[in-house]
Structure 1
Amino acid sequence: MKIEELEADRTWLAFDPMRQLRPHLTSTGFVRLVNEVQRPEGYRLIASWDGELGRVASALGFRQVTSLASGRHLAVDDLTTILVARGRGHATRLLAWADREARRLGCEHIQLGIDTHRHEAHRLALRTGYAISTFGLTRRL
């Protein structure tokens, strides 16, 4: 297992895990959205390689944010692992990487956004030291 940050020319490598989380995106649409919209806003993409599979098995996307309510923090928008690689520790190691990076950047904490229906992800987050501190509410426009 190897963890590395993916630069813009390698964004496509994270598409397989990301489509597990964001099935509405096409490969081209994913790369374009990340590289042309999100990266200029500070989004970074981290990948976990599975040696057995020989490809990226898990990905984490985040931004460094400062807000009045939360101060300086990392906002993890995307964390996902392909089905065949779940349970191998990829997401746990990506969260540990994010923790080290947040400390390096002088962040006060990490906010991890998880959709309400992703119960396995909730269990992982709680098991790795995250706590439910707020509820994010959404209203479609």
Structure 2
Amino acid sequence: MKIVKAQTKEDIELAREAILQFRPNVNPASLIEQVQQMMREEQFELVYVLAEDGKKAAAFTGFRTLHHLMTGKIIYIDDLFTLPEYRGHGYAGALLDYVHSQAKERGIANVHLDSGYSLHPAHRLYLSKGYVMACHHLAKEIK
């Protein structure tokens, strides 16, 4: 299993299919620029498992370091997704392990993420990796 940290446009392009399948609200025409801006301005990191054919990402995660009064420094996982045809191979678990190793290397004691209520297979993975349901995340759209 090859884990790649995206650094170039070409790296990001390999994750295009998985990102757009998971986040259909993202404009395909500006995907590369959006990810590059997030990397420059928001400490966003895009990491993926390269499919065996080397032509695309089979699974990806996007995360960043945040600093809150409540928690101190944390790594927050924005996205974690495996293309359907690659599920069941341990890719999401390997990406979580990668994020955990990055937290440890950086002296960060906590990793946080939000997950949709109906994503039960994802919840099983998170719970098996030692995550706890620590709070309710609330959101309000401002129009």
Q: Same fold (TM over 0.5)?
A: yes
Task: Work out the percentage of aligned pairs sharing the same amino acid.
Answer: 28
Q: Distance in 1 between matches of 2:100 and 2:58?
A: 20
Q: What residue in structure 1 maps to residue 100 of structure 2?
A: 99
1:50-100, CA deviations, whole angstroms, 9 ceiling, x for partnerless residues? 216753100000001110111111000010010100111100000000000
Q: Distance in 2 between matches of 1:105 and 1:75?
A: 13
Q: What residue in structure 2 maps to residue 19 of structure 1?
A: 20
Q: Report the CA distance between 1:20 and its aligned residue.
A: 2.4
Q: Distance in 1 between matches of 2:27 and 2:84?
A: 18
Alignment: residue pair count: 140
SS state at 1:31 partner: helix
- 8 Å contact kept, 2:14–2:55: no
SS state at 1:74 partner: strand
Q: Distance in 2 between matches of 1:109 and 1:54?
A: 33
Q: Distance in 1 between matches of 2:8 and 2:53?
A: 25
Q: Report the CA distance between 1:111 and its aligned residue.
A: 0.3
- 8 Å contact kept, 1:74–1:109: yes
1:1-141 to structure 2, matched below 5 A, reads 1-9=1-9, 10-36=11-37, 38-39=38-39, 40-51=41-52, 54-141=55-142
Which ranges in structure 1 are unaligned for 5 or more consecutive residues?
none
1:88-140, CA deviations, whole angstroms, 9 ceiling, x for partnerless residues? 11000000000000000110110022122322211111111111111110111
- 8 Å contact kept, 2:17–2:56: no
SS state at 2:48 partner: strand
- 8 Å contact kept, 2:15–2:56: no
Which ranges in structure 2 are unaligned for 5 or more consecutive residues?
none
Q: TM-score, with normalisation over the residues of structure 1? A: 0.92
Amino acid at match of 1:125: Y
Q: TM-score, with normalisation over the residues of structure 2? A: 0.90
The alignment's C-alpha RMSD in Å is: 1.5
Q: Distance in 2 between matches of 1:58 and 1:27?
A: 18
Amino acid at match of 2:109: E
